Structure 1
């Protein structure tokens, strides 16, 4: 009996040490685990955006690099906040469609992502997001905000502290810590996670009309996140849930056919 107790005690100690080790590893490497900031940069000259320009905007102690094109008369500028993977430039097909339909756009990499040198943090991303919105606002055109995945964090934050015409959230999370907790329910992510992006708090201060788009097949951010964010939005416009769509499928599934009339409604009001 004593031997059995000793064996059980040793096993318990081993499990505790292993658990503490996993938590410690997650804490000290959390940003490397949270962000996927690698990827090739597409040159603007290799796109169909013949009227767009490269921009470099100072932000805190660094510089944010992106692309900008002014809209046609009567159209807004889409301030586009990218997702977690690679460079903003990889999504040039979207910007080409915006421009083809008369919209302007500004899109960029947060500092620490491929086109913008620096280190990544929640505060850095929020600072860059706000700086780029303010830079676009100085152009004098109406602004609408589009946040995709990770970009749902800074886009919601900016909409809560600045005045835009509309906020579109594509595959948003309720908060980054919610997603982490759903993925790792056995870890105390709420205690150790530094970059939590509390969209569930920021959305309550968003007065702009809100469209949320999500897919039921999303295994990166569960569709329930989008549904819960929309439920919290004070100024609801549309909740588009696409059956079977995954995390990166909504552009091909027709999100622009929802986004464009949404922006038109918002500008008309």
Structure 2
């Protein structure tokens, strides 16, 4: 009888382990493995505030204006090799009236460098050169996994050096949205070139573990433990990083450049409290703007003029000019 119970217990444990490994591989393939398929994330839809902001005619006119401007620009495709041997691509737009200022714009999860046309146009009109990288595992860049900003942080150090050395920029800002915000926050903890004067993070998450656990809860109604821990182990084996180490919180604690945190108060994809916690953890000169009525990365849509004025103010404070 005792032997039988041991066999039953052993079989149960083995079955659970097999199930957890299968679940971990499933979530790795859904969330980490490179894929062109889009993913429906919790909180990723348009908010009521954003939907009501402009009439369809106004929205269409504005979009057409931005796209017409974008089509006229001559973006150059530039490339660098990452420290681990990946060919990374970016779109670079040299300003017709060079000022020595440049910005790196970081896209979000499953995005690419062709996105963010509105903020691209605004920066260009302020005299900035624009660099828009495809994150590893995205767009034209190599990489068979998504790093959620962790390995990408070192890529952004290299892109910053590219702007400083090749484009001769003396003033550089990093500005990211969602995963791109987490990327620039994680990069803030690295040794960036002296030309980097500030970092703007719009809707960034605290850690990969917390963000994926948040999505797991709402999309699958599953607790974080132990699925996320198993998936993290699989990610470490296959992609070389763990969810817990991929932390914007730890990075901003080491950051020395001015930091501007932007977050919508209706953000269900990356909870607003994450932005507040990042701000609280930062040790550098910092600013926090919680945007009323804004969902995920909607601040620029909902409060465009105020967003632009706050950016100008931040640039001035960060550079002293």
TM-score normalized by structure 2?
Answer: 0.69
Q: What are the residue-to-residue correspondences of 1:5-24 with 2, within 5 Å?
A: 17=15, 21-22=19-20, 24=22
Match of 1:257 in 2: 309
Inter-CA distance 257–38: structure 2 relative to 1 (3 Å threshold): farther
TM value normalised by structure 1: 0.81
From the superposition, tell whether residues 224 and 20 of structure 1 become closer, same or farther in structure 2 (CA, over 3 Å): farther
Query: 2:82 matched to 1:82?
Result: no
In 2: Cα distance, 1:136 partner to 1:31 partner: 34
**Structure 1 position 206, deviation (Å):** 0.7
C-alpha separation between the residues in 2 aligned to 1:192 and 1:38?
Answer: 21
Task: State how far apart, in whole Å, the 2-side matches of 1:98 and 1:216 are.
Answer: 25
Give the conservation status (yes or no) of the 8 Å contact 1:53–1:67. yes
The residue number in structure 1 matching 2:289 is 240
User: Please, which of 263, 266, 290 is the counterpart of residue 217 of structure 1?
Assistant: 266
Partner of 1:97: 122
Partner residue of 2:77 out of 55, 63, 76: 55
Post-superposition shift, 1:56? 2.5
Change (3 A) 1:218 1:166: same
Q: Once structures 1 and 2 are overlaid, which stretch shifts more, 31-40 or 169-178?
A: 31-40
For the residue of structure 1 that corresponds to 2:92, the secondary structure is strand
- Rounded to whole Å, the distance in 2 between the matches of 1:105 and 1:55 is 12
CA separation of 1:70 and 1:54: change in aligned 2, threshold 3 A: closer
Instruction: Give unpaired runs (5+ residues) of structure 1.
Output: 1-5, 41-45
Give the C-alpha shift of residue 264 in structure 1. Answer: 2.3
Spell out, residue by residue over 1:220-256, the C-alpha distance to the aligned partner (whole angstroms, 9 max, x if none): 1000000000001112332110122111312212233
**What is the CA-CA distance between 1:143 and the residue it aligns to?**
0.6
Judged with a 3 Å threshold, the aligned counterparts in structure 2 of structure 1 residues 201 and 239 are, in CA distance, closer, same or farther, namely: same
Match in the other structure for 1:154: 183
Asked if 2 retains the 8 angstrom alpha-carbon contact of 1:77 and 1:105, the reply is: yes
- Alpha-carbon offset, residue 25 of structure 1: 2.1
The equivalent residue for 2:280 is 231
Runs of 5+ in structure 2 lacking a partner? 39-66, 217-222, 236-240
The number of residues matched between the two structures is: 255
Taking the aligned partners of 2:68 and 2:142, their CA distance within structure 1 comes to: 23
SS in 2 for 1:205: coil
